[in-house]
Amino acid sequence: MIRTSLRKAGAVVLTASMLALNLTACQSNSDSASVSAVNEDAASNTENIITSTMNDELSINTAQTLAKNTRNQTVYVFDDASGVQDHATVNTKVTDNNGDTSSTNENVDKAAPVTINVTYYLNGKEISPEDLAGQSGEVKIRFDYVNNEEETITVNGETKTAYVPFTVATGLMLDNEKFTNIEVTNGKLSQVGSDVVALGVAFPGLADSLNLKFDSEEVNFDLPNYFEISADVTDFSLDMSLSVVSSNLLSDMDLDDLSVEDLQAKVNELQSAADQLEAGTVQLQEGTQQLEDNVPDLVSGVAALNDGAATLSSGVSAYTAGVASLNDGAAALDSNMQTLSSSLNTLYETLKANGFDTQIAALNEGINGTSGLMATLSNQMSTYKSRYETTYATAYEAVLAANDKDELAAQGITEDANIASVINSETENTAVYMTAGLCKLYAATADSTIINEIVALNQSAAAYKAMYASYTKLKAAGLDTGVQALTSAVGSFSTYQEGTLCSSLYALNVGATKLQQEGTSVLAAGASTLAANNSSLTSGAAALADGTETLNNAAATLSSGVSKLNTGAITLKDGMAEFNAEGISQITSLLGDDATTTLDTIKEVVKLGNNYTSFTGSTGNYDSTVTFIYKTAAVQ
């Protein structure tokens, strides 16, 4: 299982990275006759459409990038309709450190690194492209890619054969008036106007290069080395096909951070899941054991039921006389229970929908919360008390500053009141607004500053008096404790609290509904049936006795079945424990030398691709790339 997961994960990573490749194709110099011919071919509408579709569908970019100190080489390979190479033209463009660019073009007599073999089939039989032209029927076109760049790599001291990791992307345009029911293998179809472009991607030689193993077993990655198209065709003809080949498909993969530790983390997750599954089988077995332990009581109960049914059958004649009365009473009871259940449900849902519990809680917060009424009154009393004391001191100091203290005393204006006794009066009747001395001063003085201070003092005392009166009355009335008790009694619809109104109402609603549905309704239906079938009740009771006898006999079978179920649960528990110990736990061994060798092999193959930077020789000190563009001839 782990090998399959690792194989699939590796294939996904590799394929995704390969499809993200970024290829560069350079333009030819118009001064050369051979290159001019290449440009004329490249200007064809079919080639433009295929190139554009590759850019859109496969993220292949054929635009030119001319960074400084770079050498970009594009090799144009011309094949016949079967894929046999006819000739190749190389365009090399060099940009030096000053940004100056020069181009060279040459025809080379050298085989391209990847051979493209194109095979054609008509109605299941191989046919040459020349003979296929103009034919109709079931056609299959297969592109097989052969990697000719074999190299030697060394992994953990062992020498291996590997191939430069070329990626091949092939595109060809199909006339939808001739090609129908098109299917592709290792590729996709893209609609372009009224025609269809078939695109394929392959990685020739890559699977052989990796040759990966886990726990000494070979792992075959699903890395295609061919591209196939099948369709129903009328009057066969095919324009040229275009293939782009690059060796740097893996260059963007960040392999430095790829490690066995990453795989170990996933294995740890698998081990945790297996441990939980093992624990679950233990709980299952404990449940079946409990069921088996309780089966004797069930069997005993069924036997008692059977005895009771026999007794019922013998005494049912005496019971039928009261069935009619029972029927009337049961019907009335059921009707009343329906009304009660409906009323309770309506009441409960209405209170819940209107937020009755949250409103009561909000009321309590408004009275007793930190920003509630009682706290606000208390805070305001403190505020006005402090303001009174400050203002009193200010006013009296103003009087002393403006008058002679002895003259004021002679006039009866003295500091004759204790501030605390005025402000902290315990009863409303003894609270005063101003001292007698300040009252006389207010009447006698014409100093506006002193008058303003005395007015402010009067206002503070009046405010305190009002706050004090309200606070003491609310306290005396028990508003705070009453709301708290109400909130506690009501409770919440969202949290079950035993003894609260919300929870009790819910339980009452559920109980009434259940009683009506499972009790009075059943009772009424049963009583009605009994009343309608009094004549056959005796025979029914006898049948009941027979049924309980059958149930009594089946109880023994049930006991045997439960015993077997428990035995099976024990087997499952033991098997899961063994599987976890000898199976899952052993998966860790897969992440030993094989995994390390696998990662190192991938890194070496990546190096082969990065090092393949020229088709025609030394690259000098330039940062070089090489791209191959194959043009396979048309079938007309």
Assigned domain for 286 exists = no
10 pLDDT above the threshold of 50: no
Report residue 117 as tokens.
């073999």
Report which secondary-structure segment, H or E, holds 59: none
Assigned domain for 608 exists = no
Angle between helix axes 260-319 and 593-611 (nearest 10 degrees) is: 130
CB-based contact 42:34 (threshold 8 Å) = no
How far is residue 219's CA from residue 39's CA, in Å, rounded to a whole number? 45
Mean pLDDT of 93-103: 91
pLDDT band at 283 (very low <50, low <70, confident <90, very high): confident
Question: Is there a single domain that holds both residue 370 and residue 488?
Answer: yes
How far is residue 106's CA from residue 615's CA, in Å, rounded to a whole number? 12
Question: Is there a single domain that holds both residue 483 and residue 370?
Answer: yes
The string of pLDDT tens digits covering residues 579-629 is 666 556 555 555 555 667 777 888 888 889 888 989 987 777 888 999 999
Q: What is the pLDDT of residue 36?
A: 28
Dihedral, CA of residue 253, residue 257, residue 258 and residue 261, to nearest 10: -170
Dihedral, CA of residue 385, residue 387, residue 390 and residue 395, to nearest 10: -110
Q: What is the pLDDT of residue 399?
A: 65
How far is residue 625's CA from residue 157's CA, in Å, rounded to a whole number? 30
How far is residue 408's CA from residue 562's CA, in Å, rounded to a whole number? 107
- Which residue, of 467, 502, 537, is where some domain finishes? 502
- Alpha helix stretches (DSSP H) within 250-319: 260-319
- Which residue, of 502, 528, 553, is where some domain finishes? 502
- Please state the length of the chain: 636
Assigned domain for 586 exists = no
Residue written as tokens 């098997």?
575
Question: Is there a single domain that holds both residue 247 and residue 369?
Answer: no
Residue written as tokens 């000190």?
621
How far is residue 542's CA from residue 252's CA, in Å, rounded to a whole number? 85
Residue type, 199: L
pLDDT band at 379 (very low <50, low <70, confident <90, very high): confident
How far is residue 96's CA from residue 579's CA, in Å, rounded to a whole number? 65
Question: Is there a single domain that holds both residue 361 and residue 247?
Answer: no
146 pLDDT above the threshold of 70: yes
Assigned domain for 457 exists = yes
- Which residue, of 463, 481, 502, is where some domain finishes? 502
pLDDT band at 453 (very low <50, low <70, confident <90, very high): confident
What's the domain range around 626?
1-13+46-54+70-252+615-632
Q: What is the pLDDT of residue 129?
A: 97
Assigned domain for 163 exists = yes
CB-based contact 224:605 (threshold 8 Å) = no
DSSP state of 172: E
The string of pLDDT tens digits covering residues 303-315 is 887 888 778 777 7
Assigned domain for 496 exists = yes
CB-based contact 344:505 (threshold 8 Å) = yes
pLDDT, greater one: 56 or 547 = 547
248 C-beta neighbours (distance < 10 Å), count? 23
Q: What is the pLDDT of residue 70?
A: 92
The string of pLDDT tens digits covering residues 28-78 is 333 332 222 333 443 357 777 877 777 666 655 555 556 889 999 999 999
Mean pLDDT of 106-132: 96
Whole-angstrom Cα Rg for the chain: 48
CB-based contact 628:77 (threshold 8 Å) = yes
Mean pLDDT of 376-383: 81
Question: Is there a single domain that holds both residue 120 and residue 241?
Answer: yes
Q: What is the pLDDT of residue 261?
A: 60
Question: Is there a single domain that holds both residue 248 and residue 360?
Answer: no
Assigned domain for 224 exists = yes
pLDDT, greater one: 2 or 616 = 616
Mean pLDDT of 507-524: 80
Residue written as tokens 């009224």?
194
When divided into structural domains, the chain yields a total of 2
CB-based contact 490:502 (threshold 8 Å) = yes
Assigned domain for 33 exists = no
pLDDT band at 178 (very low <50, low <70, confident <90, very high): very high
Angle between helix axes 2-19 and 260-319 (nearest 10 degrees) is: 120
